Chains A and B, each alone.
Chain A
Amino acid sequence: KAGVTQTPRYLIKTRGQQVTLSCSPISGHRSVSWYQQTPGQGLQFLFEYFSETQRNKGNFPGRFSGRQFSNSRSEMNVSTLELGDSALYLCASSLVQATNTEAFFGQGTRLTVV
């Protein structure tokens, strides 16, 4: 069965712009989590969605938001981009809540803010 699909794979944006990233989970998985990974900070949890509801949220500013659709696909949005938002954004899907079951990661979206 198909894995977790993230689009786009690479993205270059200008400071101040906004960006939307997409994540399609494994078929049947209802939980999608988003993470930011930078060389300096490692993997950091952004938020988790389950059945279209945000269940957990990390310590990120309100510029970072997300949503989940009825088909479990999820999008995350970053507004007013800053240089420090340059990172690999990963999403992971799992059958139920990500933190209690195995999570499968996508390949990530590499965002560069210039």
Chain B
Amino acid sequence: KNQVEQSPQSLIILEGKNCTLQCNYTVSPFSNLRWYKQDTGRGPVSLTIMTFSENTKSNGRYTATLDADTKQSSLHITASQLSDSASYICVVTLNTGGFKTIFGAGTRLFVKA
């Protein structure tokens, strides 16, 4: 069964600290993996998109990694800021002749001063 699981479900960190969010998937055949940031009450905003051949991609303080062999991805946030408080959603696309998108449930991050 095609699934995307994210951990932890929620996370509280102090401003300035680093954190890593995890995404494990059982999707096949894999096409790409994306990380989105969603502020409360707003639409998701794309952070990174990685294909099978890419194993790391950065967007400012956000760095995503992908291990296609173990089907794991992580999103590392460096020097967290209060504005990083949001939900982070991992999205995996598979290509079975047509594209299908599987969403993770998201990790809710709270950054405290």
Distance, CA A98 to CA B101, complexed state (A): 9
Number of CB contacts from chain A to chain B under 8 A: 50
Contact A42 B31 (CB under 8 A): no
Q: Which residues of B contact A (CB under 8 A)?
A: 31-32, 34, 36, 41-46, 49, 89, 93, 95, 98-101, 103-106
A106 close to chain B: CB less than 8 A: yes
Interface of B is mostly: strand
B101: chain A residues at CB < 8 Å are 45, 98-99
Q: Number of A residues contacting the other chain (C-beta, 8 Å)? A: 22
Contact B105 A90 (CB under 8 A): no
Contact B100 A102 (CB under 8 A): no
Distance, CA A104 to CA B42, complexed state (A): 12
Contact B93 A100 (CB under 8 A): yes
Contact A56 B99 (CB under 8 A): yes
Q: Which residues of A contact B (CB under 8 A)?
A: 4, 42-45, 55-56, 88, 90, 92, 97-100, 102-108, 110
23 contacts between A and B (CB under 8 A): A42-B104, A43-B44, A43-B89, A43-B103, A56-B98, A56-B99, A56-B100, A88-B41, A90-B43, A90-B44, A98-B101, A99-B100, A100-B32, A100-B93, A102-B34, A102-B46, A104-B46, A105-B44, A106-B43, A107-B42, A107-B43, A108-B42, A110-B41
